[in-house]
Amino acid sequence: MGGGPSNEMREAGAAATTAFRDGFGGTIVLPGDPGYDRARAVWNAVADLRPAVVARCGSPADVVAAVRFAREHDLVVAVRGGGHSVAGFSTCDGGVVVDLSGMRGARVDQGARTARVAGGALLSELDVAAQAAGLACPVGVVGHTGVGGLTLGGGMGRLMRRHGLTLDNLLSAEVVTADGRVVRAAPDEHPELFWGLRGAGANFGVVTSFEFRLHPVGPVVTQGAVRHGLDRAWRAASSVAELAATGPDHVFLGLNLTSAEPGSSGPAVSAGALHAGTPEDAERDLAPLRDAAAVEDSIAPRRYLDVQLMNDDAMAWGKRFYMKGAYLPFLTEELVETCAGRVAAAPPDCEISFWALGGAVGRVPEDATAFTGRGAAFWLGVECLWQDPARDDEYVAWGRAAMGALQPFTTSGHYVNDMVESGEAVVRSVYGDAKYERLVALKRDWDPDNVFRRNQNVAP
Ligand SMILES: Cc1cc2nc3c(=O)[nH]c(=O)nc-3n(C[C@H](O)[C@H](O)[C@H](O)COP(=O)(O)OP(=O)(O)OC[C@H]3O[C@@H](n4cnc5c(N)ncnc54)[C@H](O)[C@@H]3O)c2cc1C
């Protein structure tokens, strides 16, 4: 979108300055301010929107003030944690961005094995603080992702089979509600809200602080991938499927089928793993993945912290992104060959990946949290990254067609943090009808006016 701010945006901006002048401890950025373009940017460059106000909060009281101001002026609210929503939900046109990027940091209690994490913190802050104490919380695989959105939707990553999703390790949350209260949600305090926060959390308020359980991890783990040409896709996939079914929980397993990159040898398939046990056990447990005929084998001992940051540059801010996700009951040769065919015909920087679930993820009862999909054997993601806006249609069409071809192999439910498309049918497909109705009832209790609707929205 081009052009300068509209009159309404200017008026809203001027009103904001007045309203926020007293008592707002953070920074207000308005259209036309020198830092506006930086302040409105989010990770997915496709979401190029122009809010009327970016309210960079420094405390829960600032969040309360920003939400109240938006409501008084009947402006849309977008809440921004790490800014990585694949759908661009943490920005909006003409509304107020409640920006938590000024509320960062993680404090670890080594003895209690817990961490208190600010609502706008990034995964890398939690990883660094926890590893300094020899601990970790299971989080995602890119360090600059926000703890906020990741946790409130799920949190899949390299430790999930051993220690569960990020949200399975949430002990309590401090929440600013739509009516401007600050409440604590935990198993013993507002338990139904705590249930909904864990999987549909963006709907119910602004989480200003998270408390997590931590586990001893590392500092060294065994990690890497065994790469093959696409003609060996099923060989690689079957080794991953076999190990996922029979291997220990402390093995994370993924399979990536990637399109050809300019200057590289062609499309490839990689069987990846992280083993959180001893190097000796890793040597034994990961043996089924190794293959003398592989193009490359990078499995080796590494610092857990280095592993957690190793994708950060490849997934840097500023690119355009599209994805579709689903769950799979098992892997079959027909499915894997269909994926191979799709990536062989894909433009650069497209991939289809599978992450093994099971382990600690599958042991939590499906109705214990709002998150869905615990019974699936694999999560499936179709993803593409590109730079040129003129290629938007080409990439989105590839992603949609690839997932269309894989649909017959999928099972029910979706991971909410994957969903680029939105609307009631999409949100119902994430949670299923029973959970959706429970979430609607919760939404009526906590946000009857749907103040928090820039998300996969559960309408009250
Ligand atoms: C590069 C990249 C890597 C990823 N890797 C993984 C991965 O390994 N595992 C995984 O499970 N997912 C992964 N994801 C998906 C990720 O979990 C979601 O994109 C998540 O929503 C990002 O959270 P955020 O705080 O950065 O995003 P934001 O865009 O800031 O927020 C996302 C949503 O959550 C809401 N929200 C954010 N913080 C708060 C808060 N404190 N209180 C209330 N609402 C809030 C926002 O309003 C918005 O609706 C990845 C995404 C990207 C772009």
CA 310 – CA 289 distance, rounded (Å) = 21
pLDDT at position 10: 60
The backbone torsions φ and ψ at residue 262, rounded to the nearest 5 degrees and listed phi first, read -55, 130
Give me 427's structure tokens: 């949100």
pLDDT at position 255: 98
- Contact present, 126 and 147 (Cβ < 8 Å): yes
449 vs 261, higher pLDDT: 449
- pLDDT tens digits for 231-247? 999 999 999 999 999 99
What spacing in Å lies between the alpha carbon of 270 and ligand 1's midpoint? Answer: 26
116, 145, 166: which to mutate for ligand 1, most atoms within 8 A of CB? 145
- Ligand 1 atom index nearest CA of 42: 29
The candidate with the shortest Cα–Cα distance to 237, out of 223, 257, 252, 222, is 257
pLDDT at position 266: 80
pLDDT at position 2: 40
What spacing in Å lies between the alpha carbon of 44 and ligand 1's midpoint? Answer: 11
- Contact present, 210 and 105 (Cβ < 8 Å): no
- pLDDT tens digits for 347-400? 999 999 999 999 999 999 999 999 999 999 999 999 999 999 999 999 999 999
pLDDT at position 1: 36
pLDDT at position 396: 98
What spacing in Å lies between the alpha carbon of 82 and ligand 1's midpoint? Answer: 6
In the structure, which protein residues have their CB atom closer than 6 angstroms to any atom of ligand 1?
Answer: 43, 79-86, 89-90, 100, 119, 140-142, 145-146, 148-150, 152-157, 202, 206-207, 315, 417, 454-455
What spacing in Å lies between the alpha carbon of 124 and ligand 1's midpoint? Answer: 13
What spacing in Å lies between the alpha carbon of 234 and ligand 1's midpoint? Answer: 32
b/e burial code for range 144-153 (CB count within 10 A of at least 16 → b): bbbbbbbbbb
